[in-house]
A and B are shown apart, each in its own frame.
Chain A
Amino acid sequence: KNQVEQSPQSLIILEGKNCTLQCNYTVSPFSNLRWYKQDTGRGPVSLTIMTFSENTKSNGRYTATLDADTKQSSLHITASQLSDSASYICVWGSGGGADGLTFGKGTHLIIQP
């Protein structure tokens, strides 16, 4: 079974600080890598999608990086805000049926004032 491992499981940082979330994928094939933000009690919202030819993609204060050779991705959040408090989910896509998505368990991020 394909596995997507995210670290840390949870993280607490002060408002205004930067942070980086990690994602490792253990099995091929690879088509795309996605990051989602999920607020408590809400559905996930797409932040970025990267294919193997892309090694970085930004969406405002969120920057995702991808190393398809080492099967690692990271999500960097710059100048954190209270509204960044959420779970961040890494998703590996194989491009198969239903997009062939495998979801990580998420990193729970808390921004403290």
Chain B
Amino acid sequence: DGGITQSPKYLFRKEGQNVTLSCEQNLNHDAMYWYRQDPGQGLRLIYYSQIVNDFQKGDIAEGYSVSREKKESFPLTVTSAQKNPTAFYLCASSADRGRIQPQHFGDGTRLSIL
């Protein structure tokens, strides 16, 4: 079955450490997104990419970085500059933007601070 795979499911970060969250999709979707979900808040957009080798900052990009070297992969790095990284991170993808399409989500990575 086609879908989005996020790994790991749980991740722990030490102070001053960078960590990378993996997101892979086999839906052949052009667009991919990273969201952050905190308790009691709506999802907030970190970064998005509409095509390989191109990506745009979302509302809360500070302290995060991404790459899009392959269509199916969109990894997110949480850098040491992100002072409050504890959250549930969701990756999503959607098909061609010529018409309105739903975003398909992975099952998330929960990041905590050691």
Interface residues of A (CB under 8 A from B): 4, 31-32, 34, 41-46, 49, 51, 89, 93, 95, 97-99, 101-106
Of A34, A89, A93, A97, the residue contacting B48 (CB under 8 A) is A97
Inter-chain contacts of B58 with A (CB < 8 A) = 98
Cα of A106 to Cα of B39 in the assembled complex, Å: 10
Most buried by A among B42, B45, B100, B106: B42
B interface, CB within 8 angstroms of A: 4, 6, 31, 33, 40-45, 48, 56, 58, 90, 92, 94, 97, 100, 102-108, 110
State A99–B110 Cα separation when bound (angstroms).
25
Tell me whether A99 and B42 are in contact (CB under 8 A). Answer: no
- Please list 20 pairs of residues, one from A and one from B, whose beta carbons are closer than 8 Å in the complex, sorted by A's number: A42-B107, A43-B4, A43-B6, A43-B106, A43-B108, A44-B105, A46-B102, A46-B103, A46-B104, A89-B42, A93-B100, A95-B100, A97-B56, A98-B56, A99-B94, A99-B97, A101-B45, A105-B40, A105-B42, A106-B42
